[in-house]
């Protein structure tokens, strides 16, 4: 039976290729659950009175770490399900705040692709732009991943 939803092999992620994920609306529940499980119980995230009096931005902000985590979920479900082997490195830039109720998606472009030193594996780096519903880039990050290669014929087959 064919397995559906499998990610891309490193050889299918050619430099210059671009992809767009589906979107995800960030809810109050997402923020509350994330700051609770991560222990990020900063007043900015859990105290509406403090936020109203002291926040530099209006509304209920989502932690950048939450935005990154949700973005990674969108990317991995779309491109690396079952083929992603390891997250090795990244650079990250937060460009704009993300608020409760914002909908994000990720636009990724392959910027590096090469065989790994061992096995049927490769290294793939993408430049990922996290974009909100207004078309504004809110975050840019450049993950380097170890990815599985396509099945190879085994000797004697």
Does the residue 34 lie in any domain? no
Domain membership flag for residue 129: yes
DSSP tally for the chain: helices H, then strands E: 4, 8
Cross-strand partners of 54: none
The domain of 122 spans: 10-26+61-148
Token output for 75: 């990317």
Based on the structure, what is the number of domains in the chain? 1
Give a yes or no: residue 66 inside a domain. Answer: yes
What average pLDDT does the structure give for the chain?
Answer: 94
Alpha carbon of 132 to those of 9, 75, 88, 122, 155: distances in Å? 28, 15, 26, 31, 49
The pLDDT value given to residue 58: 85
- Domain of 103, CATH number, reads 3.10.129.10
Q: Locate the DSSP E strands across 26-136.
A: 84-89, 92-94, 103-115, 121-131
Percent of the chain with pLDDT over 90: 88
Q: Percent of the chain having pLDDT more than 70?
A: 97
Model pTM above 0.95 = no
Residue 50 lies in a domain: no
Considering the domain boundaries, does residue 93 fall inside one?
Answer: yes
Using CA atoms, how far residue 111 sits from 41, 79, 84, 148, in Å, is 36, 15, 17, 18
As a whole number, mean pLDDT of residues 96-107 equals 97
pLDDT (tens digit per residue) in 114-146 = 999 989 999 999 999 999 999 999 999 999 999
Instruction: Provide Rg for the chain, Cα atoms.
Output: 18
Residue 154, in any domain of the structure? no
Cβ distance 147 to 9 under 8 Å?
Answer: yes
């Amino acid at each position: 039976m064919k397995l559906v939803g499998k990610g891309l092999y490193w050889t299918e992620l050619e430099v210059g290729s671009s992809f767009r994920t589906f979107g995800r609306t960030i809810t109050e529940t997402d923020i509350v659950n994330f700051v609770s499980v991560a222990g990020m119980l900063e007043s900015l995230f859990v105290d509406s009175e403090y936020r109203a009096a002291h926040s530099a931005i209006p509304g209920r902000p989502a932690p950048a770490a939450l935005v990154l985590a949700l973005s990674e979920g969108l990317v991995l479900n779309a491109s690396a399900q079952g083929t992603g082997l390891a997250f090795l490195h990244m650079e990250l830039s937060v460009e704009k705040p993300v608020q409760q109720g914002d909908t994000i998606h990720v636009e990724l472009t392959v910027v590096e692709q090469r065989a790994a030193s061992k096995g049927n594996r490769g290294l793939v780096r993408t430049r990922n732009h996290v974009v909100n519903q207004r078309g504004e880039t809110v975050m840019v990050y450049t993950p380097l991943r170890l990815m599985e290669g396509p099945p190879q014929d085994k000797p004697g087959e």
